[in-house]
Chains A and B, each alone.
Chain A
Amino acid sequence: MRYESPTTIKEVVGLLKKERGKAFVLAGGTDLLVGMKLGMIEPDLLVDIKHIPAMRTVKTSKTGFRIGAAVSCAELGEHKAMKKAWPGVVEAANLIGSDQVQGRCTVVGNLCNASPAADSVPALIAAGAKAVIVGADGRRTIAVENIATGPGKTCLKKGEVIEAITLPNQTKTSGDAYLRFTPRTEMDIAVVGVGINLTLEKGLVSKARVVLGAVAPTAITVPEAAEALIGTKVDKKALENLAAACSAACRPIDDKRGSAEYRTRIAGVMAVRAAKIAFKRAGSAA
């Protein structure tokens, strides 16, 4: 196995393209190294992206945020503007593992690992995040929801690497939230995760995105759940409809982390709680 730590994205693409064996991008390594230790992943080449300056920064501009692929979740948590604009995304990133894990791990790694239970992914999708992908044939930008195609599978082609995640600016009357359910308080994998992003107009929800994690092979956007909130003040009835729509959208598996029945039910419970937080944030931001 070879380990490379290039300092430019161009070198990364070149190294990945040339490699004939199994090549992996190494960000925080909190999935990759664990897999290697367990003998489940046996790379021929590791390309560390942490030494590429552009990948280590969060950039703000008129159009929004650009999170470099090697920015750790802890760094994201310390970014004041990000926290203010996208508290839901940041809290999702700061739920991953523990302080130690967050010191290393990245949202891009979380996305590319393509676990159905990845915490940051529903929040990113709800926020309308996009991924900037670089490959031998150049750059392309696609919505985050299109990256994972199934458990452990992404749409990235051989030699492609995600350079950054972009997020729009959040409007003044919008708010997002992410909640998950785990049996433990930390160091656990979501039984259900819910990301919600709401925009208000005259006190009523005008736009909504509701995204569920850990209840289907990939994170899923639930338009019916958004519908349940639109035009409401997130009142009791709206929340009931939201819960029902979320539960109805679930296609979970039965496993050691939770039965299908339990996940389905808890999806509704968590969605209600997340919606209340997002609604409050959207209102208080106004």
Chain B
Amino acid sequence: MAHDQSYKDRKFEVVGNRFKRPDGVEKVTGKARYGADTFAPGQLVGRILRSPHAHAKIKKINTAKAEKLPGVKAIITSKDLPDLTNGDIGLQNILENCMARGRALYDGHAVAAVAAVDEQTARKALKLIEVEYKVLPHVTDVDEAMKPDAPLLHDWIFTSGVDPKPTKPSNIAGRTEMGNGDVEAGFKDADVIVEKSFKTGQTHQGYIEPHACLASVNPDGSAELWVTTQGHFSFRNTCAALLGLDFAALKTTSSEIGGGFGGKTHVWGEPVALALSRKANRPVKLVMNRDEVFRATGPTSSTSIDVKIGAKKNGTITAASAELRYQGGAFPGPWAMLGCMTGFACYDIKNMKAVGWDVVVNRPKSTAYRAPSAPMAAFAIESTMDMVAKEIGMDSVDFRLKNVAREGTRAPYGPIYGPIGIEPTLEAVRDHPHMKAKLKKNQARGVACGFWFNIGGQTCTDLNIGTDGTVNLTVGTVDVGGARASLAMIAAEELGVPYDRVRVNIGDSASLGHNDTTEGSRGTFSSGMATIFAARDAIDVMKERAAKMWDIPVEDIVWENGVARATGKKHGNLPTLSLKEIAAKSHNTGGPIAGHNEITADGAGNGFASHICDVEVDPETGAARVVRYTVVQDAGKAIHLDYVEGQFQGAAAQGIGWALNEEYIYGEDGRLQNAGFLDYRIPVCSDLPFIDTKILEIPNPNHPYGIRGVGETSIVPPLAAVSNAIANAVGVRMTQVPMSPQRVLAALDDLDNAS
């Protein structure tokens, strides 16, 4: 049934409040079942043997000794995962990433796997597998990898997007360019031009729950996968394709998820667990340890970015350009392209050009991390924006407002913006009391902006009403950030019942049609839309049932505040029928009452945020500490206020960690040196101030409630907000992230030496 997707202003009863989360009790009592928390009869323990080399040819794998170890039930190598990808290069890369095929491409690359009766036996077996490597030269730095004499990862990569097409393979997978106007002419018009180069370290999403799954494959080709994932449908499709199973035969259930942030949008060990189970003919549980999570599951790209911005003395930007180099780990990705698309998205720039280079290096395959690729581009561009403002002697917020993108501005990646929130967030920042708060010695303030697209996509939802008048909503988007609470609120709002009457359940892959992964801040936007439509379907059913109960035409019935009401003179004095009353009689009026919706939810509203950051810098140690922080972001419509604020705060916290301390550190040998939370320093509670939030609501015209995604945008501004604050505090412009104490102190020394 067709439903109207457009936004309608209305007064909400349930939406916009703070309710108790439905998953709270189970989570705080430890009963919630995550990836590692399920068991199957006869299950084995799976473990993966990983390459200790950054780049090596695998000459021989001898599993004979390990196979003889009592308790070992299956050992697999790439031979047990034959290539069924039919030339699909994306799938091929996933397959090769799951299990090395003749070459280890990074420290931590899987080369073999074992299923054994217990953990100890599995570990022992790994030690008995003999792998003969021929170590090859490696490269882990994005700029180094682009050099003509760099060690080559793949002989099949010929840079795309350049003319003429190269005849020699290289590590540069592709070039993208986008923009508008004439930047050369624009720079000629500028009174001031600032050019600067930046580098950002590689970060990991740092979810607390490691990857874990329980896989079971039967000889008849049926299979089950219980897994911690952001998208069990895409996991099912990918795993089924790699193992040659029918989609319908691989029932995939998403567990509770202990954080994903993009890292659980991609399969890593799951196909391996399935292949082990297939070979052993027993269920196999595979749980990664932290070391494996860091070494072998998708971090984000490290980057190297040049920015050039020119402006008139009055603050108008005449031209801006950027060249962005992103590494995707050992396989090509869309990462530099996303940097190009997002970098200048907050501004209306007449002459703009962004060139992106996607590069492969000997590091784990990059995957999405919360607004993937945008924070690095924003770090470089928003830092340069502040430098330009300083050069022309303009307040940095005013300078941004002067060039701000509005409804009708063309986005760098093509489309014309609808109503967007960047200008209102900047105005809210300008007028925020935080901007006037006094600063202490060695403290200063910085501001930065950020953009994220947000996406919609395929969604399929069921709503079932019980005879007691309670509601089960079944959605196929994994609840990563509190969607169950928000969706229950939306269903309650539509049906006109209290929040606690609705229970939301994440359906497995066999119980609903395809749902795209919970990524791109799409969960509440798209499942919210499908929920509204499914509820409206159910309301139509209930109106029909009321018509039967009253024996009047359905056209004479309206649904209001959770009750059916007969209209018109003829039946004006009939008492209303509540959802509960209609449900109680459903067995006599046509059976169960349900609503359903399947949709491709288009029209996701763009997300914009502006942040204020105060830092204090210890000039003797170089340590920078964030002492106050405020997030202003446009939510379109905030459904559950705690969750929206929580997303803003969490995103800002991750951005601050990235800005100050988080970074993959590789040794000369190409091995990761800090594959653990002790030396990969995500912020702990005491590292952060309370992160204040301000929610703006500029309705998305393409959603009945005006919802935009809120999960990602606020990780984009912090890198530059922190950097701009440091520059204002101690006068040094940090061009490398993380801005660790050591780097800040070195920059302060350089400043001293220069003066």
Q: Does B742 contact A (CB under 8 A)?
A: yes
Give complex CA distance A256, B742 in Å.
Answer: 11
Question: Across the interface, do B674 and A189 meet the contact criterion of CB distance under 8 Å?
Answer: no
Give complex CA distance A123, B40 in Å.
Answer: 51
> What B residues does A184 contact at CB under 8 A?
661, 681, 683-684, 687
Question: Across the interface, do A262 and B678 meet the contact criterion of CB distance under 8 Å?
Answer: no
Question: Across the interface, do B684 and A186 meet the contact criterion of CB distance under 8 Å?
Answer: yes
Nearest residue (CB) in B for A39 is: B123
Tell me the minimal C-beta distance from B650 to chain A in angstroms.
18
Question: Across the interface, do A183 and B123 meet the contact criterion of CB distance under 8 Å?
Answer: no
Nearest residue (CB) in B for A38 is: B291
Tell me the minimal C-beta distance from B656 to chain A in angstroms.
12
Give complex CA distance A233, B601 in Å.
Answer: 73
> What B residues does A185 contact at CB under 8 A?
684, 686-687
Of the residues B291, B620, B674, B745, contact of A256 by C-beta under 8 Å: B674
> What A residues does B741 contact at CB under 8 A?
181, 183, 262
Q: Does A19 contact B (CB under 8 A)?
A: no
Q: Does A257 contact B (CB under 8 A)?
A: yes
A256-B665 contact in complex given A186-B684, A266-B621, C-beta closer than 8 Å: yes
Of the residues B289, B674, B677, B745, contact of A37 by C-beta under 8 Å: B289
Q: Give residues of chain A (238-286) contacting chain B, Cβ–Cβ below 8 Å.
A: 255-259, 262, 265-266, 269
Tell me the minimal C-beta distance from A262 to chain B in angstroms.
5
Interface centre among A184, A186, A255 (most CB of B within 10 A): A184
Q: Give residues of chain B (700-743) contacting chain A, Cβ–Cβ below 8 Å.
A: 740-742
Q: Does B600 contact A (CB under 8 A)?
A: no
Q: Give residues of chain A (161-187) contacting chain B, Cβ–Cβ below 8 Å.
A: 181, 183-187
A183-B684 contact in complex given A188-B678, A256-B679, A269-B620, C-beta closer than 8 Å: no
> What B residues does A265 contact at CB under 8 A?
745
> What B residues does A257 contact at CB under 8 A?
679
Give complex CA distance A255, B678 in Å.
Answer: 14
> What A residues does B740 contact at CB under 8 A?
183
> What A residues does B291 contact at CB under 8 A?
38
> What A residues does B541 contact at CB under 8 A?
none
Q: Does B564 contact A (CB under 8 A)?
A: no
Question: Across the interface, do B621 and A189 meet the contact criterion of CB distance under 8 Å?
Answer: no
Of the residues A186, A259, A269, contact of B621 by C-beta under 8 Å: A269
0/1 interface trace, chain B 670-708, chain A, CB 8 Å (1 if under): 000110011101011011000000000000000000000
Give complex CA distance A181, B622 in Å.
Answer: 11
Question: Across the interface, do A187 and B684 meet the contact criterion of CB distance under 8 Å?
Answer: yes
Give complex CA distance A176, B620 in Å.
Answer: 22
Chain B at the A interface: SS class: loop
Q: Does B463 contact A (CB under 8 A)?
A: no
A183-B681 contact in complex given A39-B123, A256-B665, A258-B742, C-beta closer than 8 Å: yes
Tell me the minimal C-beta distance from B743 to chain A in angstroms.
10
0/1 interface trace, chain A 78-117, chain B, CB 8 Å (1 if under): 0000000000000000000010000000000000000000
Give complex CA distance A186, B623 in Å.
Answer: 14
In which size bucket is the chain B interface?
A: 20 to 34
Tell me the minimal C-beta distance from B48 to chain A in angstroms.
13
Give complex CA distance A8, B740 in Å.
Answer: 48
Nearest residue (CB) in B for A189 is: B678
Give complex CA distance A198, B681 in Å.
Answer: 34
A259-B678 contact in complex given A183-B660, A187-B684, A266-B621, C-beta closer than 8 Å: no
Nearest residue (CB) in A for B676 is: A38
Give complex CA distance A185, B683 in Å.
Answer: 9
Tell me the minimal C-beta distance from A207 to chain B in angstroms.
27
Question: Across the interface, do B678 and A181 meet the contact criterion of CB distance under 8 Å?
Answer: no
> What A residues does B123 contact at CB under 8 A?
39
Give complex CA distance A266, B674 in Å.
Answer: 22
Tell me the minimal C-beta distance from B287 to chain A in angstroms.
12
Give complex CA distance A188, B623 in Å.
Answer: 14
Q: Give residues of chain A (183-209) contacting chain B, Cβ–Cβ below 8 Å.
A: 183-189
Tell me the minimal C-beta distance from A254 to chain B in angstroms.
11
Interface centre among A37, A258, A265 (most CB of B within 10 A): A265
Nearest residue (CB) in A for B674 is: A256
> What A residues does B673 contact at CB under 8 A?
255-256
Tell me the minimal C-beta distance from B680 to chain A in angstroms.
9
> What A residues does B684 contact at CB under 8 A?
98, 184-187
Question: Across the interface, do A186 and B660 meet the contact criterion of CB distance under 8 Å?
Answer: no
Question: Across the interface, do A187 and B678 meet the contact criterion of CB distance under 8 Å?
Answer: yes
Give complex CA distance A134, B741 in Å.
Answer: 43
Nearest residue (CB) in A for B738 is: A183
0/1 interface trace, chain A 216-252, chain B, CB 8 Å (1 if under): 0000000000000000000000000000000000000
Nearest residue (CB) in B for A37 is: B289
Question: Across the interface, do A183 and B665 meet the contact criterion of CB distance under 8 Å?
Answer: no
Question: Across the interface, do B674 and A183 meet the contact criterion of CB distance under 8 Å?
Answer: no
> What A residues does B678 contact at CB under 8 A?
187-189
Give complex CA distance A99, B277 in Å.
Answer: 41
Of the residues A181, A186, A256, A266, contact of B686 by C-beta under 8 Å: A186
> What A residues does B621 contact at CB under 8 A?
181, 266, 269
Give complex CA distance A269, B622 in Å.
Answer: 11
Nearest residue (CB) in A for B665 is: A256
Give complex CA distance A258, B681 in Å.
Answer: 13
Of the residues A183, A186, A258, contact of B661 by C-beta under 8 Å: A183
> What A residues does B665 contact at CB under 8 A?
256
Give complex CA distance A37, B123 in Å.
Answer: 11
Tell me the minimal C-beta distance from B660 to chain A in angstroms.
7
Give complex CA distance A256, B123 in Å.
Answer: 28
Give complex CA distance A216, B740 in Å.
Answer: 22
Q: Give residues of chain B (409-443) contacting chain A, Cβ–Cβ below 8 Å.
A: none
Give complex CA distance A216, B661 in Å.
Answer: 24
> What B residues does A256 contact at CB under 8 A?
665, 673-674, 679
A262-B687 contact in complex given A37-B289, A183-B681, A256-B674, C-beta closer than 8 Å: no
Nearest residue (CB) in A for B672 is: A256
Give complex CA distance A130, B742 in Å.
Answer: 35
Give complex CA distance A256, B738 in Å.
Answer: 13
Question: Across the interface, do B623 and A183 meet the contact criterion of CB distance under 8 Å?
Answer: yes
Give complex CA distance A3, B440 in Å.
Answer: 55
Nearest residue (CB) in B for A269 is: B620
> What A residues does B674 contact at CB under 8 A?
256
Give complex CA distance A261, B566 in Å.
Answer: 82
Tell me the minimal C-beta distance from A239 to chain B in angstroms.
12
Give complex CA distance A183, B741 in Å.
Answer: 7
Give complex CA distance A187, B683 in Å.
Answer: 10
> What A residues does B289 contact at CB under 8 A?
37-38
Listed by A's residue number, 19 A-B pairs whose Cβ atoms lie within 8 Å are: A38-B291, A181-B621, A183-B661, A183-B681, A183-B741, A184-B681, A185-B684, A185-B687, A187-B677, A188-B681, A255-B673, A256-B665, A256-B674, A257-B679, A262-B741, A262-B742, A265-B745, A269-B620, A269-B621
| Contacts A38-B291, A187-B677, A256-B673 known; 17 new A-B pairs at CB < 8 A | A39-B123, A183-B623, A184-B661, A184-B681, A185-B684, A185-B686, A185-B687, A186-B684, A186-B686, A186-B687, A189-B678, A256-B665, A257-B679, A259-B742, A262-B742, A266-B621, A269-B620
The 3 closest A-B pairs by CB, nearest first: A185-B686, A256-B665, A262-B742
Instruction: List residues of A whose CB falls within 8 A of some B CB.
Output: 37-39, 98, 181, 183-189, 255-259, 262, 265-266, 269
